[in-house]
Amino acid sequence: MKLEMENWKEYPIESLFHIDRGKALTTENKAIYAGKVPCINGAAENNGVFCFLDRKVEEIGFVLHKAPALSMSRVGNAGKTFVQPEDFYVADNAFCLTLRESSSIYVYQFISTALNLEMFRYSYGRTIAIEKYRKMFIKLPARENGEPDYGWMECFIKSLHYKRIHTSVSRIEKEIHPSEWGEYALGELFRFEKGKRLVKADMIPGSVNYLGAIRENNGVREKIETDYFWEPNCITVNYNGSVGEAFYQAEPFWASDDVNVLYAKEFWTLNKYNALFIITVIKANRYRFSYGRKWTLEKMKETVLRLPRKEDGMPDFVYMEEYIRSLPYSDRI
């Protein structure tokens, strides 16, 4: 099936969904009511799940939402939408969106993709107010009578095919012991360069990656023509927009002014394997700069990471590389 948008129509969100805001969950209640039902908050990973609760939590006002449905972050990673395949609770940093017309999980998967394409509207620390969100629009396939074509959406998702990826690496051979790691400031390990602003009017379509402050596509927003570019074999980190998203760059690129470029200092050599290890640790620190906080150049240089270390106290970059190489599918990198 082809995805042609000629017959699509815009619909007010409130005309399609019942929208329910979550309830605040204290640390104390999170422990008291620990259980097996997923609770969704404003996280961008793990399908939005940040804890599991017992049904007794309904005694303090939590509502069990029936699957399938959508959850959406309203702050932090505002606009991030997930399909929830199991019944769930919602904490106060998220909404639950349930279609007014009973629909399959395939329909929710289609609409979730459409909603996630609108995340840019809520970047730079913006939050989503429920009343304003009800009045917003989403563009979806429409039937001849003007109603959303849920049947077509379901058929489209079912028509998608994938090719199974195979790996020759079948098991993890290296253990990992974070308690034995050392602490290192990013400024000790990397030489920093700041991205450079390029306005839309000056962009010419071409073959060089243009990096923006986004969380997908390895940070590549588009391809441009330019004689000026940053050399590859480095890590790029967003300090604005999708703050803390980090990527390894294997090709020449242009970095926008919302991106910092990190090159290894002379005493060690960066490669795609130890870079992926370090990127994972960098991303684990991005929560410090959510809710619209900027990870400025100076703050980034001072940020301390915990990394494997050798007996002499230096970072163990060889171990980091070998660990990534030991993971299943590392042969596909």
Q: Would residue 239 be called left, alpha or beta, if left means φ above 0 and alpha means ψ between -120 and 50 degrees?
A: alpha
317 pLDDT more than 60: yes
Please spell the DSSP secondary structure of 182-231, one letter per residue. EEEEHHHHEEEEE-----GGG--EEEEEEE-S-SSGGGEEEEE--S--B-
Which tens digit of pLDDT belongs to each residue from 169-186?
765 566 677 778 999 999
Domains of the chain: 8-159 (3.90.220.20), 178-332 (3.90.220.20)
pLDDT band at 292 (very low <50, low <70, confident <90, very high): low
Which one has a higher pLDDT value, 233 or 291? 233
| Global pTM value | 0.59
pLDDT band at 70 (very low <50, low <70, confident <90, very high): very high
State the chain's mean pLDDT as an integer.
Answer: 89
Which tens digit of pLDDT belongs to each residue from 173-230?
666 777 789 999 999 999 999 999 988 888 899 999 999 988 889 999 999 999 888 9
pLDDT band at 1 (very low <50, low <70, confident <90, very high): low
